[in-house]
Structure 1
Amino acid sequence: MLSMHSQTEPTQIDPSQTDPDWLIDFRGVELRRGGRTLVGPIDWQVELDERWVIIGPNGAGKTSLVRMASAEEFPSAGVAYLMGERLGRTDMRDLRAAIGISSAAVQHRIPDHERVDDLVISAGYAVLGRWREEYQDMDFSRAHDILAQVGATHLKERQWGTLSEGEKKRVILARALMSNPELLILDEPSAGMDLGGREDLVGYLGDLALDADAPAIVMITHHVEEIPYGFTHAMVLDEGTVVAKGLINSVLTSQNLSRAFHQDIQVDRIGERYFARRVR
């Protein structure tokens, strides 16, 4: 699963071209708002079979970075390609159709009265809830299977507004997977879950990460304990800049996290999972 493309110097590539194996190709990318740089400049490439975690403190630029990676924002500077298409020279709506997103921003757009099964199955039409679309038996079967995989089958007839925060996270993840995306972006997927729910979800995401047919995955988190097994790469951000990026074992170190969080952090690895604590 691991490849050498992460070691390629991006400046060697002509700005008018990108590597066909890269779903994300950012070179010198920045996002600025109100005269302030939120993130960048960043060079970052993500291949078809890679699973990335992005970690850092509040305000580090994690969400700003993945908003560009999910075709929600144009970069203020640099060269950015998604799925081989250069941002600014292609229809962003077509790109979004190939990207599955699980985030609080998506959650906030959903009306309270929408049924869970309608939310999931309608993802294929990029709408929130069913309207007049016609669905086939295979659509219903896929929606049922995905809800079962994320442990949410029992929620399928519930209304969105009646769900707990943890239950909403499961449903949004199922919706993100329904469209069979090329790239899956997870913005704090286990936030709001209790310990049992978090561990169930981490286990499912770990199995997904090891699935050769699964999409490339980019996940934001504040906590190394939430990183599933099977993730291959990591990026540590602080104040909009990269502290470290590359293969996960070389990036998730005590030294790098201490730099990012501005305190002495001890990182331990137990099996395939990471744990962090402050050194006193």
Structure 2
Amino acid sequence: MPLDISSPTVLSLDDVTFRRENKEILHGVSLRVSRGERWVMLGANGAGKSTILGFCGAVTHPTSGTVRVLGHQLGRVELQALRRHIGHVNPRHPVRPGTTVREVVLTGITGTVAPVMRWRPGTEDLARADELIETLGLVRIADDRWQTLSQGERGRALVARALICDPALLLMDEPTTGLDVAAREQLLDTIDLLAETRPDLSSMLVTHRLEELPATTTHALLLADGRVVASGPAPEVLTSANVTATFDYPIEVEYRDGRWNARTSRPRRTLRNTEVAS
């Protein structure tokens, strides 16, 4: 029987803790993500972002507390069936040299790194792949080999791969890693496009840079040392005080033209003339 994923609450974490080798990584984390919300999760390295993303992807189980994904509690649902409704965008996703963009997109159906031997996509599969390739501006390079692509082109191809199975939840793990400014902005434009083309799609994007937040971000979760600093609508959460507490450093947050920026609020020390001369 098909898995029911109609729950209006796409993700819920209730008082979740996680321990690894007798060390507690997460401490009583709670979170609610509703259908159509586009979340960002920010925190310094080691804050617990990857662990929470593992819960969201039905990969990691909590030590205590309850995690529900698409309405189903982890530990009480067939994980493979659940994962079919979750898309992942990971810039470190391995792709074999020689694989074309279209082939990479189609591996989202089989859930494999490389095209599966003796498997042939059906007419509907090919149509979905070509539709995504067109929507994400990849038509010109659809038959190009992976090793010839720029990082930005690879990023958009991985978004298409994640979307081909029409997921109810999209997870993006630092998708702009390794991109220059132009490629980063192109990828963020692609992510923003999803708010128009797939308004019911819920998403969670992990980053530690405010400049990498899509303009269509609706909610934010701030983490520090495995604890929630703040969680809720992005304009209420992404404040100078909250971000300063998250990174334990004085940071001034600015929101302008739909995008966030951050800079240190600590006065910069300048070299004295004598020091410059020396």
TM-score w.r.t. length of structure 2: 0.87
* Equivalent position of 1:153 in the other structure: 139
* Equivalent position of 2:189 in the other structure: 203
Counterpart Cα distance in 2 of 1:248 and 1:210:
19
Counterpart Cα distance in 2 of 1:24 and 1:46:
5
Counterpart Cα distance in 2 of 1:55 and 1:91:
30
Q: Does 1:187 align with 2:199?
A: no
The counterpart of 1:249, out of the listed 214, 230, 235, is 235
Q: Does 1:92 align with 2:92?
A: no
Counterpart Cα distance in 1 of 2:26 and 2:79:
21
Q: Does 1:171 align with 2:157?
A: yes
* Equivalent position of 1:274 in the other structure: 260
Counterpart Cα distance in 1 of 2:220 and 2:196:
16
Q: CA deviation at 1:226?
A: 1.3
Counterpart Cα distance in 1 of 2:120 and 2:77:
29
Counterpart Cα distance in 1 of 2:104 and 2:152:
16
Query: Can you list the C-alpha shifts for 1:61-84, whole angstroms capped at 9, x where unaligned?
Result: 111111111011111111111111
Q: Does 1:83 align with 2:70?
A: yes
Whether the 8 Å contact between 1:27 and 1:43 is mirrored in structure 2 is yes
* Equivalent position of 2:247 in the other structure: 261
Q: Does 1:71 align with 2:71?
A: no
| Counterpart residue identity of residue 230, structure 1 | T
Larger displacement relative to structure 2 (59-68 or 156-165):
156-165
Counterpart Cα distance in 1 of 2:193 and 2:82:
26
Describe how 1:1-80 pairs up with structure 2 within 5 A: 20-80=7-67
Distance change in 2, residues 1:188/1:276 (3 Å): same
Counterpart Cα distance in 1 of 2:147 and 2:253:
38
Q: CA deviation at 1:212?
A: 5.2
Whether the 8 Å contact between 1:115 and 1:129 is mirrored in structure 2 is no
Counterpart Cα distance in 2 of 1:90 and 1:254:
40
TM-score w.r.t. length of structure 1: 0.86
Percent identity between the aligned chains? 31
| Counterpart residue identity of residue 11, structure 2 | I
Q: CA deviation at 1:227?
A: 1.0
Q: CA deviation at 1:104?
A: 4.0
Distance change in 2, residues 1:246/1:168 (3 Å): same
Whether the 8 Å contact between 1:209 and 1:217 is mirrored in structure 2 is no
3-state SS of 2:129 partner:
helix
Paired residue total: 260
Q: Structure 1: which 4+ aligned runs deviate by more than 4 Å? A: none
* Equivalent position of 1:112 in the other structure: 97
Gaps of 5+ in 1: 1-18
Q: CA deviation at 1:240?
A: 0.9
Counterpart Cα distance in 1 of 2:145 and 2:78:
33
Whether the 8 Å contact between 2:152 and 2:187 is mirrored in structure 1 is no
Distance change in 2, residues 1:244/1:181 (3 Å): same
Counterpart Cα distance in 1 of 2:259 and 2:132:
25
Whether the 8 Å contact between 1:71 and 1:95 is mirrored in structure 2 is yes
Larger displacement relative to structure 2 (25-34 or 212-221):
212-221
| Counterpart residue identity of residue 57, structure 2 | S
Q: Which has the larger radius of gyration?
A: 2
The counterpart of 2:115, out of the listed 119, 126, 130, is 130
Counterpart Cα distance in 2 of 1:157 and 1:212:
26
Distance change in 2, residues 1:213/1:32 (3 Å): same
| Counterpart residue identity of residue 53, structure 1 | V
Counterpart Cα distance in 2 of 1:30 and 1:150:
38
Q: CA deviation at 1:214?
A: 4.3
Larger displacement relative to structure 2 (45-54 or 144-153):
144-153
- Superposed CA RMSD in Å reads 1.9
* Equivalent position of 2:276 in the other structure: none
3-state SS of 1:274 partner:
strand
* Equivalent position of 2:217 in the other structure: 231
* Equivalent position of 1:9 in the other structure: none
